[in-house]
Structure 1
C-alpha cells in the first residue's frame, strides 16, 4: 500500500478507508471492479449484522434494522396514513397495505383452492390457506417445540419468551406485540367509527369489522372446518371450533375436557368456588373475567326495548329479548320440529338427541348437558347462596328463588286477619294462618 510521509494512505487508497465504521472490514480496492462505491451495499449489510437494530423509537423503544422501518413504525404514534385509495376514503400507513386493499375493489380473485373452492386475490394468501389442508407448519420456534402455519403467529409466540411488546399507546401506556393490535386499540381513544352498514346502520372503527358484520345479512360463512361440515362467518370462531376436535386438557374431578389450558383453569373454579374477579362498584365477584365484564355492564344499561321498557347491557341481549314480542325462533333442530329463540336453550335441546352430558359432579357423579346447571348444582354441596335480597337478610342459591322471594316485598298484602292483624299477599298463606285461630292443623292444606 502506498503511503505519504506521515504514514497515511494516499490517492485511491484514501478514498477506500475514509468513513468506514470501526470494527467493520475495510473495502478491498483491489477487487475486480476497483470501485469502492460498488461494494458499499455489502459493507452496509455487514455493518447491519454487527449493530443489529441501530434505529430506535424515542416514544416506545421499538428498534429497527433500517431507517425506513423506523419511519413506518412512527406512523403508529402519529396516525399518519399518506397512501390514499382513489376509489374510496381508505388510507394506509404503507404502500403494500394500500395495494392489498385496492384488490378488493376489482372483486377479482384469480387464485383458487382445488380442495374446497376458497378464492383469493393474492397468491401468498392461497399458499397460507393450503396449509389448512396439508397441516404444514413451517415456522418453528427455536426455544420450544411450538410450530405454526403463519409467520405472524410465530412472531406473537416468540414474544411470550422475551416478554417484548414494542408497540405502545401514548395515550394510556397499553403495549402489544403487533402493530395491527395497536391500531385497533387507538380507535378506542378516538371513538371514530367511519364504516357504516347500509342495511341496519351498524358502525365500526375498522373496515374488517364491517366486513364481518355484513355476513349477518348475507349469511356467508367462508371459513370451513377441514374435519367436519362446520362453517363460520369469522375466522376466530372457526379456530375455537377446531380446538374441539382436540381436547388435551382434562379435569381430574369430573372428566371435563378442553382444548385450552386457560379454559381448564377457569373450569376448576367450579370445584374450588374461587372467584378472583371483583366488581369495584358492589360486592359481586366472579370466577371468570368475562362474567365480571358482563356484570359491570349491568350498572349501565343503554339498550332499551320500545315495547315494554326492558333494558339491557348489550345489544345482543336486547335483540334476544325482542323475540319475546315477535315470537321469532331462529334456531331449528334438524332432528325434530323443535325450535328456540335462544341458542343456549337450543344447544341444551340437541344434547337430548345425543345423550351427551359432559359436565359431571366430582362429589356425587351427577351429570348434565349444561355448564350453568352444573354451576347451580354444585351449590348443593358448597352451600353457596350468592343471590342476596337488598331489602332483608335473605339469600338464595338460585336467582329464580330470589326473584320469587322479592315479591314478598313488592306485592300488596291484600289478605288481612281480623283476629290478630296478620297480613299476607298469598291466599294459601292466609288460609293456613287462619287455622291457628280455629284450632285446625295449620300444616294441612
Structure 2
C-alpha cells in the first residue's frame, strides 16, 4: 500500500467520522429537548381559556345571588317585606365573602388530610399568591368561585323563615352556620381528602353542599322561628310574580356558571354540564306544568317558575354524570317530588316554610343526588360509575352522603337557632312589627310609595 492509498483511506475515515458527528449531536439534542418538554409539562401552567371561563362563571354565580335570589324571593313575599329580603340577601353575601377570605377557604380547601375539615393552613389566605395555581387556573380565581357558592347557599336559607325573623338574628345565624355546617360539608364533598369525595359520590356542583344543606337548614329554621302571624288565615300571596319570574330567569342564566363552571375548565365536561342544565330545567318546567294541569286544571306562572328551579336543583349534583335525555327525566322527577312536598306534605304537617326552600331545594337536591347514582349508568345514557362499581354500590354511597348531610345539618342548625335566639332575645320580631312589615320596622324604608 503506497502513501497515497494510505492517505486516501485516512481521508475517507475522517470524512465518515465528521459526517456522523452532526447525527450524534442531533440525537443528543432531541433527547435533551424531550426531557425538557417532560419537565415543562409536569409543571402546572395557567390555561388562559380555562381561566377566562372561570372568571365568567364566578360572575354568573354572583349574578344568581344579586339580583337573582333577591328578586326571586322578593317577589314571593308581601309588599311590606320586599326590602327585608333584598337587604338580608345583600348583607349575607357581604358577610360570607369576608368570612370565606378570612378562614372559610382554609376550612374547606386548606390542604388538611382529614375527611371532615380542611384545616388552618390557609387562614387569611396564607401562602396564596397571584402565582398560585389550582389546576390550570389561578388559585385566587378558584377561591372567588367557591366563595360565591358559600354566599348563595347561605342566602337560600332565609326563604324558610321570611317575613318574621330579626335582621341581627339572620346575620348571626349565617355567621355560625356557614362556619360550622357549610365548610365541613364542602370539604367532605369537594376536597380531594374529603369523605364523600373519597367515596366517589357524584356531587358535581352542590346537591349535598348547597341544596340539601340549605333546604334542611331552612326547614329547621321555619320550625324554630314559628309560623307567620295570620298564617293560614290572612292573604299571603306573592306580591309580584313578575319579579319572581325575572329572578328565576336570572337564576337560570347564572346556573350555567354554577354547573358548567364546576368543571373548572372550558372543556368537554363543561359542555356536558351546560347541555344537561338546559334539558333538566326544561324537564322541570314541563313536569310542573303537567302536574298542575292534572291536579288543578290550570298551569300557573308560579308553578312554571317553581318547576324551573326544581329542574335546576336536581341537575346540580348530576350535571357531569348523566346524559342529556336522563337529565330531562331527572328534572321532571324533581318537579313531581317538589310539587308533592309543597302542595301536600307542607299542608299536612303544618310547618310554615315561607318560600318552599325545603320543598324545592331540599327535596330537589335529594332527588338529584339519588338520581345521579341511577342515570349515570351507561345503559341510561350516563357517563358511567367509578371503575368496578355498579349502580347498587353507587347508590349506597349517594344515599350515605345524603343521610350524613341531612343529620349533621339538621342537628347543628337546630342548636344554632336556639343559641342565636338566646343571644338576640328571640329569633323573631314582635307581632306588631311583623304585622306592619319588616321593611319599615327593621330597615326604616318602603319598597313602594303610592
The TM tier, using the shorter chain, reads under 0.3
- Judging by fraction of residues, say which structure has more helix: 2
- The higher radius of gyration belongs to 1
Using structure 2 for the length normalisation, give the TM-score.
Answer: 0.20
Using structure 1 for the length normalisation, give the TM-score.
Answer: 0.20
Q: Say which structure, 1 or 2, has more relative contact order (CA 8 Å, 6+ apart).
A: 2
